[in-house]
Structure 1
């Protein structure tokens, strides 16, 4: 048996990779969503391999006022070369399946990874220039302010929330890289090496570090008192005992000066998918705790900023003690969600 040849299964995966790469040309690669009070339905910028789509005209109009460059396909050489690059990699994947050589597979995988890294650097450079090279004669100028969109994730830009994520084409490209990674692991027999105790222990250690580094994705974002405003009532958040915040599945953070403001916001924005709820611990100053594990009291003489009348505690003992002092009743998190 020739050990330099790849398996039939790997050939099939390579054909799938070819299809994914070609398909990515015809759908958006990336999207940047913008939300603001004056645009309740939001604005979206879609970056294809060969064009810019979405609410381009509206965004260009906004850019003009703050001195940012307007967006035009002709200004970006990337929109000319990207389709050819994807076709090249698709043909490369097909050729790899036909010749069935492991070395060719490894070259394909490394080349795609290098392309992804260069594309990320180029995207960052584009975002930086787009947000920093401002017209000094713009109608609206904020000293020291730049408008660089996030490369990935969420960022607040003036009164706009900007959220940047892969679109369908981006996910197809990521899937292509992942499938190539799987067959490279399979064909190189790397898994056999991990069966050795020392190697397995080292792998487990590095995987543990990786997952720990990802743990902050659900961490509460500190509320800046007298700086942040409530995303429901728009009042300044001044007291660190009554506030709350939510983290969405998209990574956005919404902050509130009153627990009931948070609940009312969620009721009015049912399409916003919440991943985590946080509330202020009434016994501490501006300390957020997970709402599902908190203990609550409601009513009585509680005077929260917007008269929501609900406060939270880390311990049940504190909740009962303050419930007696404030003539308030214990209430569960589930009951608050149903209010």
Structure 2
């Protein structure tokens, strides 16, 4: 009995260490946003939360992921959050390694004009109205603009 308990604990430990929290492929025009239920349609603005169990939740915008995190803090606590690199199609940025911007001249799918770039990368020269925000500021901005409830 004792051996099977030790074996079970060891097996669970090994399996949990194998959980992959890397970003998954988001299928444009097929995957549904986990927050607003719209179809993800623009790679430049897509984002995703990958849970501590390795399940990916796609979003059609950073705004939707911010609102989802606000409403689901327990799920987001050990999750990895990723945003699409606005300038490098197909490149995912861990939110901790990204700079988040808001610029009215950049129309995002959900209308709050939020996009991500790798930390320290310059904003493209054609975007002259970009305002940098922290992730917490982004969440607060979305919650305020959309009147998101917990």
What is the TM-score of this pair, normalised by structure 2? 0.76
In 2: Cα distance, 1:273 partner to 1:308 partner: 22
In 2: Cα distance, 1:230 partner to 1:179 partner: 36
Partner of 2:110 in structure 1? 306
Partner of 1:51 in structure 2? none
The alignment's C-alpha RMSD in Å is 2.6
List per-residue Cα deviations over 1:154-194 (Å, max 9, x = no partner). Answer: xxxxxxxxxxxxxxxxxxx3xx33789xxxxxxxxxxxxxx
Partner of 1:264 in structure 2? 67
Give the direction of change, closer, same or farther, for the CA distance of 1:333–1:266 in structure 2 (3 Å limit): closer
Partner of 2:140 in structure 1? 338
Partner of 2:31 in structure 1? 228
Structure index of larger Rg: 1
Helix, strand or coil: the match of 1:230? coil
Shift of 1:290: 0.4
List per-residue Cα deviations over 1:186-227 (Å, max 9, x = no partner). Answer: xxxxxxxxxxxxxxxxxxxxxxxx9xx84x622111111111
In 2: Cα distance, 1:297 partner to 1:179 partner: 44
8 Å CA contact 2:85, 2:93 repeated in 1:
yes
1:243 to 33, 46, 50: 46
Give the direction of change, closer, same or farther, for the CA distance of 1:273–1:219 in structure 2 (3 Å limit): same
8 Å CA contact 1:302, 1:326 repeated in 2:
no
**Could you list the runs of 5+ residues in structure 2 that have no partner in the other structure?**
142-150
List per-residue Cα deviations over 1:104-138 (Å, max 9, x = no partner). Answer: xxxxx4xx4xxxxxxxxxxxxxxxxxxxxxxxxxx
Helix, strand or coil: the match of 1:267? helix
**Higher relative contact order, structure no. (Cα contacts within 8 Å, ≥ 6 residues apart):** 2
**Could you list the runs of 5+ residues in structure 1 that have no partner in the other structure?**
1-88, 94-108, 113-172, 181-209
User: Pairwise mapping of residues 208-219 of structure 1 onto structure 2 (< 5 A)?
Assistant: 214=18, 217-219=20-22
In 2: Cα distance, 1:251 partner to 1:305 partner: 26
